[in-house]
Structures are given as structure tokens and as C-alpha cells.
């Protein structure tokens, strides 16, 4: 299984979590705002501690409460694309893409796939929302991630930029390079991009 997830965490007075086991490709968790979609990604990435359960990706156990296993985030080989992208404003696009890169030789390949080759000398502040999303996805891929987590990757974009970002995600999905887990509140977006869609909340 690409993702074998069964996690629960406390958020205030409520419990949030999810349970699913899926194969390769792009899996989308869809549900309304506030049901804990981002919390599930954070538990998988190791940024939020579950109270119970397990996280296995590609057959590798990242967390298992019963077995006492809890790998730190830096050992999980996760490429996390946050809603706000978190590009380094003081680094040009090329340096952002190569930050943490395990294989700089793949820069041209990834830049071409995501159509950001012409942006390499630009500063993040000069990028559109769609361009910044594509750069953030590229940085995650170049870090030699074993899997990608995408948190609302098309949110807050105008229609043109949404389409640009969606096509970039489709290209990554279709290469089948790494399993992808994405969350969104938009059912149409989920059905377009996902190999499978799981409703939560």
C-alpha cells in the first residue's frame, strides 16, 4: 500500500483523524473546512503527534503507537507543500528549488515538468500564486521525497492560476514517481486530480 493510515489526534476538545489504506497514485481527502484534513497531513508528516494509530507509507512504518515507533519529521522523507508555499523570500527560484535537494542534476527535468524553467532567476515576490505553487511542488520533488503531501494546493488562486497549478499536479501524478496525498474542500477538484477520492468529516 502507498498509504496505510489510521491516526487520531486531539484538537481542543475534539478528536480528529482518518483511517484508509490505498494503492499508488494520487489520493485525495475531501471534506469541508474544519474537519481535520490538514491535521491528518500533519500527523503523517510528523508535525502533529497522534494519540493512537499508525502511519505506514510504501510499506515503511513512520509511526505506530502500539510498537512505540515515531520517526521525527526529518527522517520521514516527506515532501510537504503547505497552503502558503513557504518559499524563502531571500533566495531566487533556483536556490529555492535546490534547497535540500539530494540530486541537483534533476533540476532541469523537474523544472521542465512543472514549467518553471523560465522562472529560475526570479525572486519569489515576483511570482504569481500559481507559479509559486509549482516552485513549491518542485522543491518537494527535488528533496528526494518518498511521498508528497499537498495541502489545498489550488486554494486562493484565480481561475487561470488554478488551471496552471492543476496541470502541474497532473503531470507529477502521471509520472507515478511518488505517491501523493492531497486534501481539498472542492469535490470537483478532487475528482479531476485524484486516482481515488476519500470523503472525511
pLDDT value, residue 105: 87
pLDDT at residue 33 above 90? no
Give CA–CA dist 141/154, Å, rounded.
18
36-57 pLDDT, tens digit per residue, is: 999 999 999 999 999 999 999 9
How does residue 6 score in pLDDT terms, banded at 50, 70 and 90? very high
Domain ranges of the chain: 3-199
The model carries a pTM of: 0.92
Percent of the chain with pLDDT over 70: 100
Percent of the chain with pLDDT over 90: 81
pLDDT at residue 201 above 80? no
Strands of the sheet with 180-184, listed across from one edge? 78-81, 147-151, 180-184, 26-30, 196-199
How does residue 183 score in pLDDT terms, banded at 50, 70 and 90? very high
* Lowest-confidence pick of 85-89, 99-103, 165-169: 99-103
What CATH topology corresponds to 3-199?
Rossmann fold (3.40.50)
139-163 pLDDT, tens digit per residue, is: 998 988 999 999 999 988 889 989 9
How does residue 12 score in pLDDT terms, banded at 50, 70 and 90? confident
How does residue 84 score in pLDDT terms, banded at 50, 70 and 90? confident
How does residue 101 score in pLDDT terms, banded at 50, 70 and 90? confident
Average pLDDT over residues 122-128: 96
pLDDT at residue 8 above 90? yes
**What b/e string do you get for 3-38 counting C-beta neighbours within 10 Å, with b at 16 or more?**
bbbbbbbeeeeeebbbebebeeebbbbbbeeebbbb
pLDDT at residue 83 above 90? no
Amino acid at each position: 500500500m502507498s498509504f496505510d493510515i489510521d491516526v487520531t489526534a486531539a484538537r481542543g476538545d475534539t478528536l480528529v483523524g482518518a483511517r484508509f489504506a490505498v494503492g499508488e497514485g494520487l489520493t485525495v481527502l475531501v471534506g469541508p473546512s474544519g474537519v481535520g484534513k490538514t491535521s491528518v497531513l500533519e500527523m503523517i508528516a510528523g508535525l502533529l503527534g497522534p494519540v493512537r494509530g499508525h502511519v505506514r507509507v510504501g510499506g515503511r512504518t513512520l509511526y505506530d503507537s502500539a510498537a512505540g515507533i515515531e520517526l521525527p519529521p526529518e527522517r520521514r522523507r516527506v515532501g510537504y507543500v503547505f497552503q502558503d508555499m513557504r518559499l524563502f523570500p531571500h533566495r531566487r527560484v533556483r536556490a529555492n528549488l535546490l534547497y535540500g535537494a539530494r540530486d541537483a542534476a534533476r533540476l532541469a527535468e523537474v523544472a521542465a515538468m512543472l514549467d518553471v524553467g523560465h522562472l529560475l532567476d526570479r525572486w519569489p515576490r515576483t511570482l504569481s500564486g500559481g507559479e509559486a505553487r509549482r516552485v513549491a511542488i518542485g522543491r518537494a520533488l527535488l528533496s528526494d521525497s518518498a511521498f508528497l503531501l499537498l495541502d489545498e494546493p489550488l486554494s486562493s488562486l484565480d481561475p487561470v492560476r488554478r488551471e496552471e497549478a492543476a496541470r502541474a499536479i497532473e503531470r507529477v501524478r502521471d509520472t507515478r514517481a511518488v505517491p501523493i496525498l492531497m486534501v481539498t474542500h472542492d469535490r470537483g477538484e478532487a475528482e479531476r486530480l485524484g486516482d481515488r477520492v476519500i470523503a472525511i468529516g
